Structure 1
């Protein structure tokens, strides 16, 4: 079910789709691929909202509105990381896996997939910067070096994901859903929200 290279391929297709063909049907075949795509699209949205918050000349109101969009989208992203792990655990259940008697892995597959998603976006935008015709001297070369590092890190992380999944399937490592339990969007838990509502 879990293959780092398949995830890389899907992330690459979704990234190009988000940037180049936004009005067409998103790529996704199985329920698992749909989940990975939804998560990656949330990271795409988050990336560009972060850019928007840093636009020169943005008003305070625009920045505040964008910040709220960032918070909302980040919540979606974190919820989807948990859903990725839940889907993997549901797949493993008929095999009586993962083996909770073995050592727990601190980072879940969903968390690794999230890191791969962000690295994919860094790679895409670094390639964009390499192709800029209006950039200062040395800009393309600097980004070529950055791309080498990013691609190495992506390959390393893909190997880590495949290794973890192989250990889980062999019953020598286990993971469980790591609940984020974010507080900043919850009006019952964030004092900046509930104190204002009490006034």
Structure 2
């Protein structure tokens, strides 16, 4: 693979699936380089966000715990979205280095590659935690069947999105589609834009 090419989507999704399982057993780490390191970092924010969201919904969490978790969720969500933009910026850099010029009539996809990588990250988390549900000793047959049905659907959606993302990347690097970073410009964490902060 050249320095300007992206890893195959199968490698990206393998990273996400493997690290979800690994991080449930040991400390979070990022041994990757280049674009894969960015994918892993973005995935880590989703991993941490997932587990903070679980805590926020615990019926035993008191007000102080919920407030602490809510602030953690806000920060992680900002970091997650910042990393989506960094993934797309990294793709732009590689397209420039490769000298790719899109056709004049090349369309822009409704979703960026970085956003699709983010969705695949969340799907890998969903698949892992649904699989955990099958191991519950207190789960009845109806629960097991529901989980199995949802796992099958998640796997199909994961496969569909993986294939669509690979098609998109191929089209972008062939100049058949135009690539841009979607700037999300979130306001709630910016003290100069959130009135609840600057009016405090």
Output the TM-score relative to the length of structure 2: 0.92
Q: How many angstroms does 1:113 deviate by?
A: 0.2
Q: 1:12 aligns with which of 4, 10, 17?
A: 17
Q: How many angstroms does 1:138 deviate by?
A: 1.8
Given that residues 81 and 114 in structure 1 are in contact (C-alpha distance below 8 angstroms), is that contact kept between their aligned partners in structure 2? yes
CA RMSD of aligned residues (A): 1.3
Query: Are 1:80 and 2:104 counterparts?
Result: no
Q: How many angstroms does 1:27 deviate by?
A: 4.7
Given that residues 89 and 98 in structure 1 are in contact (C-alpha distance below 8 angstroms), is that contact kept between their aligned partners in structure 2? no
Q: Where do 4+ consecutive residues of structure 1 move more than 3 Å?
A: none
- The secondary structure found in structure 1 opposite 2:10 is helix
Measured against aligned partners, the alpha-carbon deviations of 1:42-61 in whole angstroms (never above 9, x if no partner) come to 00000000001011121112
Query: Are 1:172 and 2:173 counterparts?
Result: no
Counterpart position of 1:22: 27
Query: Are 1:38 and 2:51 counterparts?
Result: no
CA–CA separation in structure 2 for the residues paired with 1:31 and 1:47: 25
Query: Are 1:142 and 2:132 counterparts?
Result: no
- The secondary structure found in structure 1 opposite 2:100 is coil
CA–CA separation in structure 2 for the residues paired with 1:57 and 1:98: 55
Given that residues 123 and 150 in structure 1 are in contact (C-alpha distance below 8 angstroms), is that contact kept between their aligned partners in structure 2? yes
The 1:192/1:139 distance shift into structure 2, 3 A limit, reads same
Query: Are 1:183 and 2:187 counterparts?
Result: yes
CA–CA separation in structure 1 for the residues paired with 2:59 and 2:181: 40
- The secondary structure found in structure 2 opposite 1:112 is helix
Q: How many angstroms does 1:195 deviate by?
A: 1.0
Structure 1 segment 29-68 matched on structure 2, within 5 A: 29-68=32-71
Q: How many angstroms does 1:127 deviate by?
A: 0.3
Given that residues 30 and 41 in structure 2 are in contact (C-alpha distance below 8 angstroms), is that contact kept between their aligned partners in structure 1? no
Measured against aligned partners, the alpha-carbon deviations of 1:71-92 in whole angstroms (never above 9, x if no partner) come to 0000000000000011111111
Output the TM-score relative to the length of structure 1: 0.93
Q: How many angstroms does 1:170 deviate by?
A: 1.4
